[in-house]
Amino acid sequence: MQKFEFVNFSKVNITDNFWRSKIDKVATKTLSACIYQTETATPRLENFRRVARKKGEPHQGIFYDDSDVYKALEAMSYSLKNHPDSALERKCDEWIDIIAAAQLPDGYLNTWYTLRGLQDRWTDMSMHEDYNGGHLIEAAVAYYNATGKRKLLDVAIRFADHFISLFGPGKRDWVTGHQELELALVKLYKTTHDEKYLKEADWLLSERGHRLAKGYTWTDWKDTGYAQDVVPVKQQKEITGHAVRAMYMYTGAADVAALTGDEGYMNAMKTVWEDVVYRNMYITGGIGSAGSNEGFTTDYDLPNEQAYCETCASVGMVFWNQRMAALTGESKYMDVLERSLYNGALDGLSLSGDHFFYGNPLASKGQHARREWFGTACCPANIARLVASLGNYIYAKNENGIWINLFVGSETKIPVGKNDVALKMETNYPWDGRVKLSIDPEKRSKFKIFLRIPGWCQGKTVPGNLYLFAGAGNNPAPISLTVNGKTLAASQDNGYYVLDRVWERGDKVDYELGMTINTVVAKDELKQDNNRIALQRGPIVYCVEGADNNGKAWNIVIPGNTEFKTIDYKVMDEPVKAITAEVPVVIVSEDGMSLKTEKKNIVAIPYYTWANRGKNEMQVWLPTKITDVKLNY
């Protein structure tokens, strides 16, 4: 069913100027923070030791803390492939020994219930036993792929087999309270080739939406829409509830659809995706506007200062859109993935690599600061595993061709038919749009190369037109494409240029995407952004922050005739392309009794870089009229 298969991160060597430094920061700073918090500052790893000691010691922490150990291990696994480190590998093996010692003979593994009372295990679907187990499986698959070591994989297999022995057709019913096990079981199937794991993932998805008929009991909420359990998955048409739960479930559903050819899942995924992107997504690719349910409310309810936009939800958008791209072969899913990756997700990680955002607002009066850790600590390890596994999202293939989905400096070797094709990509993306591809097949052969045409250089922001480029921005940016220095009349398919030719060693493709500064306006229904504009250049969404603008970000006006310029700039040690313009700013008189406007040069920086220089005012959406200025005094 799927149109192409993404190349695994372990086959991709990233050399990119933009991403390599972030991957290295994750390896040296982020993982150090995760390790310290997991084994020293909090009792997360200690709980596993307590299980193994069998001395009746109490559980400390929250019932889902096991998952943070597994997510950190997964991130460490990806990093070992990108950034080999014998000390880090020894640390992984040490943790794996501790985890394995805590597994019960029947395969059960959960420190909360093992320490507090096994008589209550598998009695409450909201208690994350399955969620923790899913992250165990993901970590095990990642570590096996990175090192070839099976110990954690065997632990995960025993856990999965234990679960399947209890739940499934003809056994007990079960709805995963926090979806995750579904997508993890698909990963286990792909690793072991044992179909029972794929069938169990499919069965778990089929269990949803039958609560009244089967008499399920949810103990911690009455609104089952919170867990996407109102109607069966194949009948779902609208996004509801907790954003991360939804992303993980729809990722699993797309996985199952791709492997089974089930059109019911496929059609539901497309419909729900449109509901998210057309009516419920921020310009940053962030989702889940409300902190009250960490998720969705009503269509077009996208406040800026109060935006929740959990980092994990943006990570989930990357996962889901990757699966949708593979399922359909359509570039619009990669457009949304790219938006979430470079903006909503990356904002969750500080430039130093050791501070984090849980929520990612689009406006601040100076009350927001990045933190070293959280009581519920899903986000640090989640953004770490995403950055460390970036290689999973760049290239894809099938028997007839190769897809270039993201523009990231890297090297790989991809089998196409009976031929191995070495690829090298060089680029300074996202700061400029020049991409150079070197193509070296082992033997001269005919195949296709598909180059994604980003929506942003076609005069489009996002599918569905929730956001639109204003004025001249509606005109497509210039694109040039040459093969071995000669212009090629390439056909287009699903948002990709198709280069269909006989390739041989030494072939070069030069692809240049015009980088223009675009002002963005929101659909009228999005009331919070009426009479306001945002700035975007390439895939990067911008904001204004007080640190660059005399401490103020709420007194700036962007008239319709504003001329913008791109400048080289640094935020901390991060070299970026910033945007500058001379615009009116509103100034309060010294006695506070009157207002005046003055022309000032303002600087806008990439959204992902804000709040790295202390607490600051910040805005993404800027007023176009003085009457819409809301001063922060």
Q: How many CB atoms lie within 10 A of CB 439?
A: 21
On the question of a cis peptide bond just before residue 441, with omega within 30 degrees of 0, the verdict is no
Measured at the alpha carbon of residue 68, what is the angle toward residues 65 and 74, in degrees to the nearest 5? 150
Condensed to tens digits (0 to 9), the pLDDT of residues 203-261 reads 999 999 887 666 665 555 556 778 888 899 999 999 999 999 999 999 999 999 999 99
Rounded Cα–Cα distance for residues 181 and 134 (Å): 4
CA-to-CA distance for 138 and 586, rounded, in angstroms? 52
pLDDT for the residue numbered 591: 67
Q: Residue 81 corresponds to which amino acid?
A: K
pTM assigned to the model: 0.96
Q: Determine the pLDDT at residue 599.
A: 93
Token pair, residue 213, equals 């008929």
The predicted pLDDT at position 216 comes to 61
C-alpha closest to that of 180 among 296, 291, 30, 74: 74
pLDDT < 70 positions in the chain = 212-223, 471-476, 590-592, 633
**Under 8 Å between Cβ of 616 and 550:** no
Token pair of 630, please?
A: 């809301």
CATH top-level class of 396-452+479-513 = mainly beta
DSSP-derived 3-state class of residue 436: strand
Annotated domain spans of the chain = 5-393, 396-452+479-513, 517-628
The CATH number of the structural domain formed by 5-393 is 1.50.10.10
Please tell me the predicted confidence (pLDDT) of residue 626. Answer: 87
Q: Are strands 445-452 and 401-404 parallel, antiparallel or unpaired?
A: parallel
- pLDDT for position 473: 47
Q: What pLDDT is stored for residue 214 in this prediction?
A: 66
Token pair for 453: 């045409």
Helix 378-388 vs helix 311-328: crossing angle, to nearest 10:
40
Helix, strand, coil proportions of the chain in percent (round to 5)?
A: 40, 25, 35
Name the β-bridge partners of 363.
619
